[in-house]
Amino acid sequence: MSAAMRMRPLPAGLAPRAGRFILPRQALRPSVERQALQASIRRSYATEAPKAPISPVSKPPKKRFRFFRGLWRATYLSVLVGGAYLAYSIYETRYPQEQVEPDPTKKTLVVLGTGWGSVALLKKLDTENYNVIVISPRNFFLFTPLLPSCPTGTVEHRSIMEPFRHIIRHKKGTVKFYEADATKIDHERRVVIVSDNSDIKGDIHQTEVPFDYLVVGVGAENATFGIPGVKEHACFLKEIGDAQKIRKKVMDCIETAMFKDQTPGEKERLLHMVVVGGGPTGVEFAAELQDFFEDDLRKWVPDIADSFHVTLVEALPNVLPMFSKTLIEYTEKTLNEEKISLRTKTMVKKVTDKTIEAEVTMPDGSKQYQVLPYGCLVWATGNAVRPVVRDLMSQIPAQKNSRRGLAVNEYLVVDGTDGIWALGDCSATKYAPTAQVASQQGAFLARLFNNMAKTQNLEQELKHLEEIKAESKVQEDQEAIDKEIAKKSKAIRKVKTLSPFEYTHQGSLAYIGMERAVADISWWNGNVASGGSLTYLFWRSAYLSMCFSTRNRILVALDWMKVKIFGRDVSRY
């Protein structure tokens, strides 16, 4: 008998004897009670389960995939925060606040141009302090670093255009805008003569805009260096209209080359695309054009596979002269891998409607005259002074020795004038005429004008305190006023201490084709030079972050995604 049976009380009618159960005599007879008793005993033993053995204490299982769960939570939180910020940015863009109306007692600040310098100025300028007027022949800001991507359809042109009225509508103070050409600046009378450049002419075609302060940021036009035929036959790449013209010309050359019974020689000429200029614009456009051919044109127009050809012409010994030697060599190697003909030390002397005549410096130093037939010629080199700037320079004796643009001092004030500033490509400084320089100059002028307004307000308050002090007879009041005057005077000295403009180079980027890019970035006290596919991703992310608005960033990202999925459009538009 088990220990469990011994410990359990016996049912009624049972008596233990010598290890056995003895039933009463009457219980031996089969009966219903006996069967019930046996069933009760069986149930009693069945419900008595043996106790489980006590196992040693085990450690809890280790948590698995803890890192991935944390990463997922961080990603999820980042998406939520990013989505909320994006929604707020879109809402803020769509629904601007009410603006302060112009105050006739404040000074008038006229800004010419809607380029990098002018937009950077307006972005940081407190427009409540001035009556601001902007004059420009185009009513949008153009993100020029992505302009070489437009003719091939990698990026749509409207994706890199920000309507200028969107920009000025988000300022606290009202800004007036006139879409017109500034034809003349009379600095003695302090007026700007403007002409309506729209196709629909109103009753007033020309008028004058007076100013107290003037900022000239009209940029520069394409330089032809006096080479015959460039202006008549070449396509430039500086404005949206230029990109559209190049697109039509390239597709016209392809479709004409495919015309029935076209001669082989003419077909080869039509499919030869020449880009003059080895700077970032020329290199990027040549790379984009070759990508367009390799990724899309070869597929949809297979007959041009053996004839389409891109040539890059540069007068200097190397392309991208602002980059390091290592990156220049990497760029030239990549261009050769892409089958882009690179012609350095080649100076264009004459352009006709079908050929380029150039002087080539051979390795031994000798000169050789060559003729290159072409179908489409893109001129992407050099800046020239605009007529309105040249006219202003002729009025000012201090500008007679300046050739590249308006000579300015360390505060960007035009030499020989008072109250006139110049920035960007229309000014002659020791810095290269780039968008990065113009943008920093605009931010500098915004700080300067904001400080000027603060100084004027503090001087008015100081004058008012001096008047109160003169009328006051109480000694204690005069002492309090003296303390306030000293405080205002100190604030004026602090505001007036604005350092001269100094350019800080942030680096240079360029796309070189085959989803590769080069970057020469300033980092701490040195530079970081890199090139390749990872640099290409950095190039894209950098340009995406530099786009003016959330709207532009979304449109450009969608354009890149569309090209990756569907390819570029090969239609003529």
> Pick from 570, 520, 573, 539: which is nearest to 289 by CA?
570
Better pLDDT: 139 or 28: 139
Residue 377 banded pLDDT, cuts 50, 70, 90: very high
The mean per-residue pLDDT over the stretch 519-539 comes to: 89
> Pick from 156, 164, 159: which is nearest to 555 by CA?
159
Beta strands 355-361 and 213-216 are unpaired
> Quick check: 542 pLDDT over 60?
yes
Pure H helices in 95-239: 116-124, 164-169, 230-233
Question: In sequence order, what are the beta bridge partners of 173?
Answer: 100
- pTM summary value: 0.82
Which burial class, exposed, middle or buried, applies to 59 when counting CB atoms under 10 A from its CB (0-12, 13-18, 19+)?
exposed
The mean per-residue pLDDT over the stretch 490-512 comes to: 85
* Weakest-pLDDT range from 52-61, 72-81, 387-396: 52-61
Q: How far is CA 431 from the centre of its chain?
A: 22
> Quick check: 552 pLDDT over 90?
yes
* Weakest-pLDDT range from 6-15, 86-95, 300-309: 6-15
Residue 27 banded pLDDT, cuts 50, 70, 90: very low
Q: What is the pLDDT of residues 251-296, one digit of tens each?
A: 999 999 999 999 999 999 999 999 999 999 999 999 999 999 999 9
Strand segments, DSSP code E, in 231-331 are 235-236, 272-276, 309-313
Q: Which helix (H) or strand (E) holds 490?
A: helix 475-496
The owner of tokens 């320079």 is 393
CATH of 230-383+504-566, one of 3.50.50.100, 2.40.420.20, 2.60.40.10, 3.40.50.300: 3.50.50.100
* Contact criterion met (CB below 8 Å) for 116 and 423: no
At residue 240, the pLDDT reads 95
At residue 491, the pLDDT reads 73
At residue 97, the pLDDT reads 85
Residue 129 banded pLDDT, cuts 50, 70, 90: very high
> Quick check: 411 pLDDT over 90?
yes
At residue 60, the pLDDT reads 56
Better pLDDT: 501 or 455: 501
* Contact criterion met (CB below 8 Å) for 426 and 433: no
Measured distance CA(449)–CA(437) in Å, rounded: 19
* Contact criterion met (CB below 8 Å) for 106 and 209: no
Which burial class, exposed, middle or buried, applies to 130 when counting CB atoms under 10 A from its CB (0-12, 13-18, 19+)?
buried
* Weakest-pLDDT range from 218-232, 256-270, 327-341, 523-537: 523-537
At residue 56, the pLDDT reads 55
> Quick check: 329 pLDDT over 50?
yes
At residue 64, the pLDDT reads 62
Most confidently predicted of 23-27, 288-292, 476-480: 288-292
At residue 102, the pLDDT reads 85
Measured distance CA(474)–CA(123) in Å, rounded: 47
At residue 42, the pLDDT reads 61
Intra-chain end-to-end CA distance of the chain, in Å: 103
The mean per-residue pLDDT over the stretch 101-130 comes to: 94
Share of the chain above pLDDT 90, in %: 67
> Pick from 462, 438, 454: which is nearest to 497 by CA?
454
Residue 21 banded pLDDT, cuts 50, 70, 90: very low
At residue 379, the pLDDT reads 97
Residue 487 banded pLDDT, cuts 50, 70, 90: confident
* Weakest-pLDDT range from 163-167, 415-419, 471-475: 471-475
Residue 91 banded pLDDT, cuts 50, 70, 90: confident
Q: Where are the domains of the chain?
A: 98-220+385-449, 230-383+504-566, 452-496
> Quick check: 407 pLDDT over 50?
yes
Q: What is the pLDDT of residues 137-181, one digit of tens each?
A: 999 999 999 999 999 999 999 999 999 999 999 999 999 999 999
Whether 230-383+504-566 and 98-220+385-449 are alike in CATH topology: the answer is yes
CATH code for the structural domain at 98-220+385-449? 3.50.50.100
Measured distance CA(317)–CA(165) in Å, rounded: 44
Better pLDDT: 17 or 283: 283
Residue 360 banded pLDDT, cuts 50, 70, 90: very high
